[in-house]
Chains A and B, each alone.
Chain A
Amino acid sequence: MAVPSVAADTPAAAEAPPVLGASGAREERVAGRRREWPLALLFLAPSAVVFAVFVFYPLYRTVQLSMYRSGPFGRLGEFVGISNLNDVLSSSEFRHSLGVTLQFSAITVPLGLVLGLGLALLAHERLRGIAVYRTLFASTVATSVAVASIMWLLLLNPSVGLVNAFLDWIGQDRIDFINEPGWALWTVAFTTVWLHLGFTFIVISAGLQSVPDELLESARMDGAGAWRRFRHVTLPLLSPTLLFVLVVLSINAFQSFGQIDLLTEGGPNDRTRVLVYAIFQEVRRGDPSTAAAQAVALFGILFLLTIIQLRVLERRVFYG
Chain B
Amino acid sequence: MAGVRFDHVTKRFGDVLAVDDLDLQVEDREFLVLLGPSGCGKSTALRMIAGLEEPTEGSIRLGDRRVDGVDPKDRDLSMVFQSYALYPHKSVRQNIEFPLRSRKVPAAERDRLVSDVVAQLGLTGLLDRKPRQLSGGQRQRVALARAIVRRPAVFLMDEPLSNLDAKMRTSTRAELVELHARLGTTFVYVTHDQVEAMTMASRVAVMSEGVLQQVGPPQEVYDRPENVFVAQFIGSPPMNVLSGTVVDDAGVRKVSAAGGILTVAPEAAQLLGSRGLAEVLVGVRPEHLVVAGSGIPAKLRVVESLGHERHLLCELQDAREIIVRTSSAAAVPGEGATVHLDAAPGALHLFDADSGRRLH
Contact = CB atoms under 8 A, between A and B. Distances in A.
Interface residues of B, number: 22
Nearest to B105: A223
B102 A222 contact: yes
Contacts of A237: 88-89
Contact of B98 (A219, A225, A236, A320): A219
A268 to B, nearest CB: 48
B78 interface: yes
A221 interface: yes
Interface string A210-237: 0010110111111111001000110011
A299 interface: no
Nearest to B152: A221
Interface in B71-122: 71-73, 77-79, 81-83, 85, 87-90, 98-99, 102-103
B50 interface: yes
B88 A223 contact: no
Interface string B36-61: 00000000000000111000000000
Residue among A214, A220, A223, A318 with the most chain B CB within 10 A? A223
B88 A218 contact: no
B78 A222 contact: yes
B146 interface: yes
Contacts of A221: 50-52, 72-73, 77-79, 99
Nearest to B71: A220
Contacts of A217: 50, 52, 72, 81, 85
A238 to B, nearest CB: 11
A215 B73 CA distance: 14
Contacts of A219: 87, 98, 102
A224 B85 contact: no
B85 A223 contact: no
A218 B102 contact: no
Contact of B72 (A212, A220, A233): A220
Chain B contact residues: over half helix, strand or loop, or mixed? loop
Nearest to B73: A223
Contacts of A232: 87, 90, 98
A254 to B, nearest CB: 31
Given A233-B87, A320-B88, A214 B81 contact: yes
Nearest to B78: A221
A222 B83 contact: no
Given A214-B81, A217-B52, A218-B81, A223 B87 contact: no
A224 B90 CA distance: 15
A223 B52 contact: no
Contacts of B79: 218, 221
A224 B73 contact: yes
B88 A318 contact: yes
A132 B85 CA distance: 31
Contact of B89 (A220, A223, A225, A318): A318
Contacts of A214: 81-83, 85
Given A236-B89, A237-B88, A237-B89, A223 B83 contact: no
Contact of B102 (A215, A224, A320): A224
Contacts of B77: 221
Interface in B209-246: none
A212 B89 contact: no
Residue among B52, B73, B89, B146 with the most chain A CB within 10 A? B89
A318 B85 CA distance: 16
Nearest to A236: B89
B81 A223 contact: no
A101 to B, nearest CB: 34
Contacts of B99: 221-223
A232 B87 CA distance: 9
Given A214-B85, A221-B51, 9 more contacts: A212-B83, A212-B85, A220-B71, A220-B72, A221-B72, A223-B73, A223-B99, A223-B103, A228-B102
14 contacts: A212-B83, A212-B85, A214-B83, A215-B85, A219-B102, A220-B52, A220-B73, A221-B72, A221-B99, A222-B73, A222-B98, A222-B102, A223-B103, A232-B90
Interface of A: 212, 214-215, 217-225, 228, 232-233, 236-237, 318, 320
Nearest 4 A/B pairs, CB to CB: A223-B102, A218-B85, A222-B99, A318-B89
Interface of B: 50-52, 71-73, 77-79, 81-83, 85, 87-90, 98-99, 102-103, 146
